[in-house]
Amino acid sequence: MTGVAVVTGASSGIGEATARRLAEDGFEVVVAARRIDRLRRLAGEIGGRAVELDVTDAASVRDFAAGFDRCDLLVNNAGGALGAEPVALSDPAEWERMFAVNVLGTLRVTQALLPLLRAGAGGTIVTVTSTAAAANYEGGGGYSAAKHAEHAFSETLRLELCGQPVRVIEILPGMVRTEEFALNRFAGDAERAAAVYADVDRPLTAGDVAACVSLAVGLPPHVNIDQLVVRPLAQAAQHKVHRGALFHH
């Protein structure tokens, strides 16, 4: 499929890589996030359009959606984690923020673009959740709760849209090494962020996840991948990470 694709959280990491990949696939890509300078640079490189968007702000989402007369693909990618404290010590404000961006942001943007996604020849909604949408781990309570909620959103929407030509796809990545995800999680603590990936032989890259989005979207319009779980080979499960050489270099 081709047409107009919207990628939220496209100013870095998985969103940026997905925007690049979809442009290569022939989409006219609209890149959205808060940091407009980065978006403008990216849009210039891929021949797309940059639009400032804060998914936690209802007015921003309303204004954003008003700028479209067509949308064939929405990639709900904006999101992230804050903190890794145990439930007993975690900060409710961080849980609120994670719900605001991951869950309510995805809800708002989807609601705003749904009329256009339904109007065309066939629309697709891809939501990037996480393996944390399907499993919990110590210190991941708030993030897992938000990603589980995003999963519930995606599954419910698929049920509700049954009978309409709109695919609803959820991508659940495991460990992906992006520049900002772990840094944001640990409030800029680079050492703690680096420890997440320490000695892991080839965590996923943003490009790997973008390739999964491209694969799911590129299948014929009657093929709906409900959930695509993708992990690096070194991570067999949330708690099962091999640290040490894996590939012959």
The residue among 116 and 128 lying less far from ligand NDP, judged by its C-beta, is 128
- CB of 145 vs ligand NDP, minimal distance in Å: 13
CA 114 – CA 165 distance, rounded (Å): 12
Asked whether position 205 contacts ligand NDP by CB under 6 A, the answer is no
Asked whether position 128 contacts ligand NDP by CB under 6 A, the answer is yes
Token output for 113: 């673009």
Q: Which residues pair with 18 in a beta bridge?
A: none
The residue among 110 and 178 lying less far from ligand NDP, judged by its C-beta, is 178
Token output for 119: 């109007």
CB atoms within 10 A of CB 248: 4
- CB of 180 vs ligand NDP, minimal distance in Å: 4
| Among 248, 8, 246, 249, CA closest to 127 | 8
Asked whether position 61 contacts ligand NDP by CB under 6 A, the answer is no
- CB of 139 vs ligand NDP, minimal distance in Å: 14
The separation between CA 207 and the C-alpha centre of its own chain, rounded to angstroms, equals: 13
Q: Which of 64, 95, 143, 186 is flagged as catalytic?
A: 143
CA 19 – CA 28 distance, rounded (Å): 9
Q: Where do the DSSP E strands lie in 10-55?
A: 28-33, 49-52
Candidate list 7, 42, 78, 200; residue touching ligand NDP; CB under 6 A: 78
Candidate list 23, 33, 113, 200; residue touching ligand NDP; CB under 6 A: 33
Asked whether position 13 contacts ligand NDP by CB under 6 A, the answer is yes
Candidate list 5, 6, 7, 14; residue touching ligand NDP; CB under 6 A: 14
| Among 239, 224, 247, 210, CA closest to 170 | 224
Per DSSP, 186 falls in state T
Asked whether position 144 contacts ligand NDP by CB under 6 A, the answer is no
Asked whether position 232 contacts ligand NDP by CB under 6 A, the answer is no
Candidate list 22, 42, 51, 77; residue touching ligand NDP; CB under 6 A: 77
Known catalytic membership, residue 137: no
